[in-house]
Each structure stands twice: as C-alpha cells, then as structure tokens.
Amino acid sequence: MDLLGHGRSDKPAGSGVTYRIRLLADAVVGAVEALPDRPRRVDLLGHSLGGAVALDIVRRCPRLVRRLVLVDAAGQPVEETVDVLAASLPFVPRSYEDARRLLSSSVNSRLLGHPLVALAAALYKGRRKNRSQLMKLVASMAAGEDAVKPRDLARISNETLVLWGDRDRIFPLAAGRRLARSLPNARLEILPRCGHVPPTERPVAFARRVLAFLDA
C-alpha cells in the first residue's frame, strides 16, 4: 500500500490539507475497513515512515492489528532516535544532489548508491506536485507530533518483530534496540551489512525473516 501522498496513492494538496502521521494512519485504516472481505484483524508491516504509521494505528486501533513488523521504523521521538548527521538530510529531495546525498546516507550498497539511481530518483520525485505538503509532514515529525512515547509502547501487547539494518545511518541500531525493549512482546532481529532500506538492500534475507515470523 502506498501511503497517502506517495507512490500511486492520491496526493492531496492545498491549504485544507495538513500532512502528519495521523492523516496517513487514518487513510490506511480507512482502506482496511473498506475491503470487501475485510479480515477481523490484519498483520501490519511498516518500514521507516511506514513504521511510524503502523505504530500510530496499533496505538489507536489495537483491535484491528494482530501482529506487527517494524522495519528501521520512525515513530519514536526524533530527538532521541535520529542520528545527528541524518537530521540535516533532505528527506524531500529537490534536486539530483539532494537525491544523491539522501541515497548515499540511506543505503549500504554500491549499486543502490550509484549516481544513475540518484538521477532516476530525482527525476521521479521532481514530478511531485505536493512537495510543500511533504515538507510539512517532515516538520510535523521533527516537532514530535504523533510520536509514540515509552508509555504508549508499553501498552502495545501485539506480537512484534523489530527488524533493523546494523548499518542504518538514519535511525541507528540503538533506536531499534530501544524500540524492542519498550514493546512488551517484541523481538529484535538484526540484518548484517544493511543500511536503512532492508527490503531493497537485502530483499531475500528481509523476506525470509518476515515470512518466518508470520508463519510461526
């Protein structure tokens, strides 16, 4: 599922739209509830920004979620979890240089860090018409809006897999360890030689870990 404002999902913009985690989470809940054969509970996986969305959903709609997979997830207070160097990264790239800088910091892969990949990303993201709204989303997260506090995490009893790249330079491994400790029913698994984007950097290992958890 592409989050609201991303990929092929709708990208509403304008003065009446305020992007924040809560807005994205509500869109996911609405999509699940609109399924023709809606399951009573769903297994929810969120990566990075999606992890923050997943945490907001399970915090507010615990009966909707059965199991949880959090992959190099955002959602905890930014000042306590984001690497100092990452705080200045252009998370909504404006140019090729922005895209290249973000990629080089996000992935631990020569192939994915290649200038041609950055060029393709810059061309794709340059077509967005909602840049200002996405910037508001980043600002909202930086301000701590909708962030989950330790007391919130302590109430999430869902069985959870916390999956983290050991070389993540956006949310360092320490943030993953902290998240796993704060969740009462979570276990942490670490992907070696992996940065912030396990589904792309280590797709086979990523899929095996997730499937093993869901099939258990």
Please tell me the distance from the alpha carbon of residue 121 to that of residue 144, in angstroms, as a whole number. 28
In a domain, 209, yes or no: yes
In a domain, 37, yes or no: yes
Q: Quick count: other Cβ atoms within 10 Å of Cβ 31? A: 12
Q: Where are the alpha helices (DSSP H) in 17-159?
A: 21-33, 49-60, 78-81, 96-106, 115-125, 131-142, 150-154
Total domain count, the chain = 1
> Across all residues in the chain, what is the average pLDDT?
88
pLDDT tens for each residue of 62-111: 999 999 999 999 999 988 888 877 777 777 777 778 777 777 788 887 77
Please tell me the distance from the alpha carbon of residue 141 to that of residue 82, in angstroms, as a whole number. 11
CATH code for position 42? 3.40.50.1820
In terms of residue numbers, what domain contains 197? 21-86+130-215
Q: State yes or no: pLDDT of 14 exceeds 60.
A: yes
pLDDT tens for each residue of 161-211: 999 999 999 999 999 999 999 999 999 999 999 999 999 999 999 999 999
Percentage of residues in the chain having pLDDT higher than 90: 59
Q: Parallel, antiparallel, or unpaired: how do β-strands 186-191 and 42-47 relate?
A: unpaired
Amino acid 104: pLDDT: 78
Confidence of residue 54 (pLDDT cuts 50, 70, 90): very high
pTM of the model: 0.90
Residue written as tokens 């059965």?
A: 66
In a domain, 105, yes or no: no
Amino acid 34: pLDDT: 93
List C-alpha distances in Å: 120 to 81, 97, 113, 132, 146.
29, 12, 12, 21, 32
**Secondary structure class of 191 (helix, strand, coil):** strand
DSSP state string for 10-36: ----STT----HHHHHHHHHHHHHT-T
In a domain, 107, yes or no: no
